[in-house]
């Protein structure tokens, strides 16, 4: 197995790092406080090709591989995990689904502007009574002539208030259970869309999360993605790629926590020396670095499997499970190493902890990842 990055992958990583440090870092602390969405940053990311990284150039994407995408998400999330998830949702959960299942009409109309950053997308699967148990969709879509009429409620929508296009799951035939779920592309300005309250979150505060009400929303028939009844399959397959994106976001937080801890431990003096000379601190740094590297390898493997067209369900879930654990663990240890300074806003590590927790929850909780991994292991 070759772990070396190609020259192109290194160039993408360096470009993402440079953009993150010069364009994202200066406003990250302020946006965490104000919970303001990084509109200009997202626009610039679009212009640079970071919002449709894996989309074919035929549809105005950057045509890159999944590993390049992972490298970019890690670099951005090292500086600001809020921007990481905005990118990840547009790339993995929206562009991917449209490119794989959409008609040329839908690709022309939605994928091109989404991939080039002219529009922003969001993914709507969760509902008040269908989170982990995602097959229990209550939102309904009824075909009436040349359009579907959608009614229901979606929640925990990342990019929700800002998105122009929603990739949304709804039930077209209740009698068929999850095989009666279909996927639609819904525009924010369609009549009957009600943007609910923006959530006031513990972390990733400048990413935007809201509920979405659908009250007799008329969606043209041609906005059905794929066919009726394949919506759950689309959602699950899309989430497999999304889980690699969230894993990369978690990796960025873990890596940032490690780097901050190394830096601080070499500056902070106690007991006649810098604390980096204390074995208690060295053991922490060693454990942090080891789990970060293990997570990185799992993520790279999942990305490689996806690009090689192999089944990567288990690999993506393992990568997300470990990387999110690494993010929470490393952020907690970073606070411990910083002592009292780690608990206040003067240093960034308290934000890393607040940002890290969501990676164990969204796009499938850690418990759901374990369930998915076990089912793959136990397949006949």
Binding flag, residue 290, ligand CAA (CB under 6 A): no
Measure the CA–CA gap between 380 and 368, rounded to whole angstroms. Answer: 20
| Number of alpha carbons in the 13 Å side-chain half-sphere of residue 176 | 14
Measure the CA–CA gap between 7 and 274, rounded to whole angstroms. Answer: 38
Nearer to ligand CAA, 319 or 349 (CB): 319
Binding flag, residue 188, ligand CAA (CB under 6 A): no
Query: The dihedral of CA 271, 275, 276, 280: what is its sign?
Result: positive
Q: Which residue in the list 75, 363, 367, 376 is annotated as catalytic?
A: 363
Single out the segment in contact with ligand CAA by CB under 6 A; choices: 98-106, 219-227, 231-239, 337-345: 231-239
Binding flag, residue 249, ligand CAA (CB under 6 A): no
Q: Given candidates 28, 55, 62, 125, which one binds ligand CAA under the rule CB under 6 A?
A: 125
Q: Which residues pair with 269 in a beta bridge?
A: 274
Nearer to ligand CAA, 264 or 362 (CB): 362
Binding flag, residue 27, ligand CAA (CB under 6 A): no
Least CB distance to ligand CAA at residue 359 (A): 10
Say how many Å lie between the first and final Cα of the chain, rounded.
27
Question: Reduced to 3 states, what is the DSSP secondary structure of residue 370?
Answer: helix
- Of 307, 312, 252, the C-alpha closest to 81 is 252
List alpha helices for 2-144, DSSP H: 7-19, 25-34, 39-47, 66-79, 81-88, 96-101, 104-106, 112-115
Binding flag, residue 364, ligand CAA (CB under 6 A): yes
Q: Given candidates 19, 232, 312, 352, which one binds ligand CAA under the rule CB under 6 A?
A: 232
Measure the CA–CA gap between 111 and 165, rounded to whole angstroms. Answer: 10
284 — phi, psi (to 5°)?
-65, -45
Nearer to ligand CAA, 117 or 180 (CB): 180
Q: Would you call 363 a catalytic residue per the annotation?
A: yes
Question: Reduced to 3 states, what is the DSSP secondary structure of residue 175?
Answer: helix
Q: Given candidates 236, 262, 294, 297, which one binds ligand CAA under the rule CB under 6 A?
A: 236
Q: Given candidates 313, 319, 321, 353, which one binds ligand CAA under the rule CB under 6 A?
A: 313
Residues in 64-123 at the binding interface with ligand CAA, rule: CB under 6 A: 89, 123
Nearer to ligand CAA, 224 or 234 (CB): 234
Binding flag, residue 157, ligand CAA (CB under 6 A): yes
Least CB distance to ligand CAA at residue 372 (A): 5
- CB burial readout 55-90, b (16+ within 10 A) else e: beeebbbbbbbbbbbbbbbbbbbbbbbbbbbbbbbb
Nearer to ligand CAA, 50 or 264 (CB): 50
Least CB distance to ligand CAA at residue 135 (A): 5
CA gyration radius, the chain: 21
Least CB distance to ligand CAA at residue 70 (A): 17
Least CB distance to ligand CAA at residue 327 (A): 15
Any residues with CB less than 8 A from the CB of 304 and at least 6 apart, and which?
66, 67
Least CB distance to ligand CAA at residue 181 (A): 10
In the complex, the residues that contact ligand CAA under the rule CB under 6 A are 89, 123, 125-126, 132, 134-135, 156-158, 178, 232, 236-237, 239-240, 313, 362-364, 368, 372
Which residues are catalytic, by number? 363
């Amino acid at each position: 197995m070759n772990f070396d990055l190609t020259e192109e992958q290194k160039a993408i990583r360096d470009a993402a790092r440079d953009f993150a440090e010069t364009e994202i870092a200066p406003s990250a602390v302020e946006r965490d406080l104000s919970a303001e969405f990084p509109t200009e940053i997202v626009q610039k990311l679009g212009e640079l090709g970071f919002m449709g990284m894996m989309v074919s150039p035929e549809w105005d994407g950057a045509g890159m591989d999944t590993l390049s995408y992972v490298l970019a998400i890690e670099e951005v999330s090292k500086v600001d995990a809020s921007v990481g998830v905005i990118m990840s949702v547009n790339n993995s959960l929206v562009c991917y689904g449209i490119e794989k299942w959409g008609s040329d009409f839908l690709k022309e109309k939605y994928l091109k502007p989404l991939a080039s950053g002219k529009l922003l997308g969001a993914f709507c699967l969760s509902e008040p009574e269908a989170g982990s148990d995602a097959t229990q969709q209550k939102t309904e879509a009824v075909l009436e002539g040349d359009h579907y009429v959608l009614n229901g409620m979606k929640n925990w929508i990342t990019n929700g208030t800002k998105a122009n296009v929603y990739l949304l799951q709804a039930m077209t035939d209740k009698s068929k259970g999850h095989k009666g779920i279909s996927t639609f592309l819904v525009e924010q300005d369609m009549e009957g869309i009600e943007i609910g309250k923006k959530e006031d979150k513990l972390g990733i505060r400048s990413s935007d999360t809201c509920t979405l009400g659908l009250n007799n929303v008329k969606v043209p028939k041609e906005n059905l993605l794929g066919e009726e009844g394949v919506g759950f399959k689309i959602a699950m397959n899309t989430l497999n790629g999304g889980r690699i994106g969230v894993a990369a976001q978690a990796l960025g937080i873990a890596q940032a926590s490690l780097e901050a801890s190394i830096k601080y431990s070499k500056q902070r003096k106690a007991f006649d020396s810098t604390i980096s000379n204390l074995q208690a601190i060295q053991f922490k740094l060693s454990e942090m670095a080891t789990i970060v590297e293990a997570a990185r390898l799992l993520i790279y493997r999942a990305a490689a499997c996806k690009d090689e067209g192999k089944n990567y369900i288990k690999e993506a879930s393992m990568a997300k499970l470990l990387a999110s654990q690494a993010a929470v663990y490393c952020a907690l240890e970073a606070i411990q190493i910083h002592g009292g300074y780690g608990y206040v806003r003067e240093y960034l590590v308290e934000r890393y902890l607040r940002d890290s927790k969501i990676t164990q929850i969204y796009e499938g909780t850690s418990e759901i990842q374990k369930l998915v991994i076990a089912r793959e292991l136990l397949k006949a």
